[in-house]
Amino acid sequence: MAISRLIHVYSSSFDANFQLASIPRSPLCADISLNSQLSFTVCAAHNIPEAWVTSYKVFSFSCLLTYAGKIICQVKICKNTPVKKSFFFLADWNE
């Protein structure tokens, strides 16, 4: 569900040549307990616009988790990585 929403936000925010077949809806209720863990992995950014590639030498991203306006996880910053050209421009952090 979260990945579908992320893809939807990306494809509707940038000049992407793809869209999801249907826009994901939020679940009616969440099954979360105090012992639940949140984890995700960002391996790569695909189809980076060529204008960005010519403007920037490297790409990185950072993630910060907040709840009710309070920081609950420190900022994690990935390493800087150059863009590769395959079938499309790609920043690959999972090498």
Q: What is the pLDDT of residue 39?
A: 73
**Domain boundaries along the sequence of the chain:** 2-92
Q: b/e per residue, 43-69, with b = 16+ CB within 10 A?
A: eebebbeeeebeeeeebeeeeeeeeee
* Residue 84: both structure tokens together: 């590769």
Query: Between these two residues, 28 and 62, which has the higher pLDDT value?
Result: 62
Place of tokens 């060529």: 50
Query: pLDDT of 49-65, one tens digit each?
Result: 888 888 888 888 888 88
62-88, pLDDT tens digit by residue? 888 888 888 888 888 888 888 877 666
The more confident residue out of 94 and 40 is: 40
pTM: 0.47
